[in-house]
Amino acid sequence: MSKKIESLLVIGTGTMGAGIAQVAAAAGCEVSLYDTALDAAENARARIAASLARAKEKGYVEAADMEDTLARLHPVGTLESSREAGAVIEAVREDLQVKQEVFLQLENIVPPDTLLWTNTSMISITRIADPLRHPERVAGTHFFNPVPRMKLVEIIGGRRTDARTLEAAESAVRAWGKTPVRAPDTPGFIVNRLLDALLREALSLHEEGVEGRAIDEAVRLGLNFPMGPLELMDLVGLDTTRDCLVAQADGMGRELKCGESLLRLVKDGRLGRKSGRGFFDYPPQ
């Protein structure tokens, strides 16, 4: 039987880390939140509280469940305070070196049987685990945005990942209300490899002068997708999108041929919903 995860450490409490923490805590897991500074982790907890309060107003969450979930979220200022976690999920920025540094640091702190999971969108699990002493406990658990609403989690093993690590990841995400799908350790796994093709063509069309709203409407109504590609990039974050497109192109061994408009927006600080402006404008609510 695979190991049951009763306590989790989330490293990187931005868009994805906060979402993962929320669903794990809502399902009864004790969750420590760690970021580069304690106030960033505290801020993530406050954002989760606000999101739960909205869900309560709409009748999706009971007041008592909301309080229980919040009581299981623990911002921490050091990694040392989280030695007891059964698993760690990192959701720091999409950069191989940054992710490897996080896991190398962790290896000196947590016991050898603590499972180490990464929420990478694109980077090879084999490469992330490569410098570690215990690569068998590393797996990809790729959640989708917004985490509370998206059902899928891709579960990815690297070359040296142990079968029990994958089974434990699958049963943990199932316990958190998600549906796991095993994906290969190839660039973009399943979903982002398919998405990459869509986003690159959407950016090309946009650069050729096709209006953003028209591209989105065409995809929503013509393909029956719930969102258009440009509004999706704004939701994901344009800096994160850029990192993903670059990683996908690198991984597939090809040059990134489009994306000028995207790079310009990132340079101007227009990062999508999180900064209030991206391809489209998002007035504060």
Ligand X SMILES: NC(=O)c1ccc[n+]([C@@H]2O[C@H](COP(=O)([O-])OP(=O)(O)OC[C@H]3O[C@@H](n4cnc5c(N)ncnc54)[C@H](O)[C@@H]3O)[C@@H](O)[C@H]2O)c1
Strands 138-143 and 152-157: antiparallel
Six-digit token string for 188: 């973009």
Work out which of 3, 7, 40, 164 binds ligand X, going by CB under 6 A: 40
Query: Angle at Cα 10 formed by Cα 34 and Cα 78, nearest 5°?
Result: 30
Residue with tokens 């059902």: 151
Asked if 69 touches ligand X (CB under 6 A), the answer is no
Asked if 35 touches ligand X (CB under 6 A), the answer is yes
Count of residues touching ligand X (by CB under 6 A): 26
The single residue of 32, 82, 121, 124 carrying the catalytic annotation is 121
Q: CB-wise, 47 or 164, nearer to ligand X?
A: 47
User: Nearest CA to 278 among 233, 226, 222?
Assistant: 233
Do 139 and 161 meet the contact criterion of CB atoms below 8 Å apart? yes
Tell me if residue 142 is catalytic.
Answer: yes
Contact residues for 253 (Cβ-Cβ < 8 A; gap 6+): none
Asked if 4 touches ligand X (CB under 6 A), the answer is no
CA-to-CA separations, 260 to 35, 208, 276, in angstroms, rounded: 31, 11, 20
Q: Which residues within the stretch 70-109 sit at the binding site for ligand X (CB under 6 A)? A: 91-94, 98, 102
What is the residue-wise DSSP string for 154-174? EEEE-TT--HHHHHHHHHHHH
Asked if 212 touches ligand X (CB under 6 A), the answer is no
Q: CB 144 → ligand X: shortest distance, Å?
A: 6
Tell me if residue 145 is catalytic.
Answer: no
Asked if 121 touches ligand X (CB under 6 A), the answer is yes
Contact characters 223-262, ligand X, x per CB under 6 A: -------------xx--x---x------------------
**Contact residues: ligand X, CB under 6 A:** 11-17, 35-36, 40, 91-94, 98, 102, 119-121, 143-145, 236-237, 240, 244
**Residues with catalytic roles:** 121, 142, 154, 192
